[in-house]
Amino acid sequence: MPHMMTDRTRATLLGAIAPVVWGTTYAVTTELLPPDRPMTAALLRAAPAGVLLLLLTRQIPPAGWWGRLVVLAVLNIGAFFPLLFLGAYRLPGGLAAVVGSAQPLIVAVVLLLAFRQSTPARQLLWAVLAVTGVGLAVFAGPVTVDALGITAALAGTASMATGVVLTRRWGVPPGMSGLAVTGWQLALGAVVIAPLVPLLDTGPFVLDGPAIAGYTWLAVPGTAIAYAVWFSAGRRLPATSTAMLGVLSPVVAALIGWVWLGQALSEVQSAGFALALVAALLGQTAAHRPAGTPRRSRRPGSEPAGCPGRVPAAP
């Protein structure tokens, strides 16, 4: 048990890196990238990171896994990235991110409707409190609501939530590393995004110093590294637990707005941040199986790759 707790703690801490880095996406998008280029941002975030990981790993997926990889690539990258940047360009950073904090609840709904797997009531409670906390932190301040931006952010959250569930369910193809699977998802997702650039982007493409810095940050730390640790955590932690870590993203986004962009925090907003952080932390502990519950001897995250059986129980 102590060893398994250590594995879980390590997976949780590594997984937390991703949403913390992703919390910078909104400020980077609005402050460094050229305006009105959401699909370009999505493409230049996915393609370089995917190529880098494929060159590092040099692994080809088994024939029977291509369909699943395409599904994951569309959910986690091809649909999520364009929707994410569309929301980021049209909404204040904190507001765009707060929609993403609903991911744990969407994961719970997907698990229930698609796989008839219920989420522990305590974990659902913490998820609701986390969303409430982030909502207080964002909506207590001046808010500009854009209907298309809100719709895009919500659709992106649903896409990523479904990807989290399937990542946990399907695991890793035989003979492939997690980095290789991440690389293929990014590369395939970039293929989906590329045709959208001339169709939806309207602003001039300017590649100056700030833009280069912004695209590089989004592609390497924000994608290649962040997605590698995120998918690794997603294969080792319960899907709702992984999604709970996503609450860190809107908290970081709003904190950057406060520290870097000079956006003041009221007492209500500060209380909201505190509630979100505490709920995210306690949501992780709520996912632990109560003592005395029977447990299979299999190591966490070692379920047979591609196994079409039921969704694994939360470790």
Predicted local confidence at residue 299, as pLDDT: 41
Q: What is this structure's pTM? A: 0.76
Whether residue 13 lies inside any domain: the answer is yes
Buried b (16+ CB within 10 A) or exposed e, 195-232: ebbeeebeeeeeeeeebeebbebbbebbbbbbbbbbbb
Q: Taking 60 as the threshold, does the pLDDT of residue 3 lie above it? A: no
Reported confidence tier of residue 1, pLDDT bands at 50, 70, 90:
very low
d(CA 41, CA 170): 29
Average pLDDT over residues 256-278: 74
pLDDT, tens digit, for every residue of 108-153? 888 888 888 887 788 788 878 877 877 777 677 666 567 888 889 8
| pLDDT category of residue 294 using cuts at 50, 70 and 90 | very low
126 occurs within a structural domain: no
Per the structure, the count of domains in the chain is: 1
- Which residue has better confidence, 157 or 187? 187
Domain assignment of residue 138, yes or no: no
At residue 303 the predicted structure's pLDDT band, cuts being 50, 70 and 90, is very low
pLDDT tens, position by position, 185-197: 999 999 999 999 9
Per-residue pLDDT band for 292 (boundaries 50, 70, 90) equals: very low
Tell me the per-residue pLDDT of 51-87, one tens digit each, with 9 for 90 and over. Answer: 999 999 999 999 999 999 999 999 999 999 999 899 8
The residue-averaged pLDDT of 9-29 equals 86
Give CA angle at 255 (249, 258), nearest 5°: 150
Q: Could you tell me which residue, 300 or 50, shows the higher pLDDT?
A: 50
Q: Look at residue 127 and tell me if it is in a domain.
A: no
pLDDT at position 217 is 96
Q: What is the mean pLDDT of residues 202-209?
A: 93
- Are 189 and 77 in contact by the 8 Å Cβ rule? The answer is yes
- Average pLDDT score, the chain: 80
pLDDT greater than 70 at residue 33 = yes
> Does pLDDT of 104 surpass 80?
no
Q: Is the pLDDT of residue 264 over 90?
A: no
> Is residue 247 in a domain?
no
Contact 23, 248 (CB under 8 A): yes
- The answer to whether residue 177 sits within a structural domain is yes
State the pLDDT at residue 291: 36
* Mean local confidence (pLDDT), 2-14: 70
- Please check whether residue 20 lies inside any domain of the structure: yes
Average pLDDT over residues 265-279: 77
Domain residues for the domain of 100 are: 2-120+143-238
Tokens 């659902």, residue located = 124
- What confidence tier does 99 reach under pLDDT thresholds 50, 70, 90? confident
Average pLDDT value for residue range 257-273: 73
Is residue 281 assigned to a domain? no
Pick the more confident residue, 120 or 215.
Answer: 215
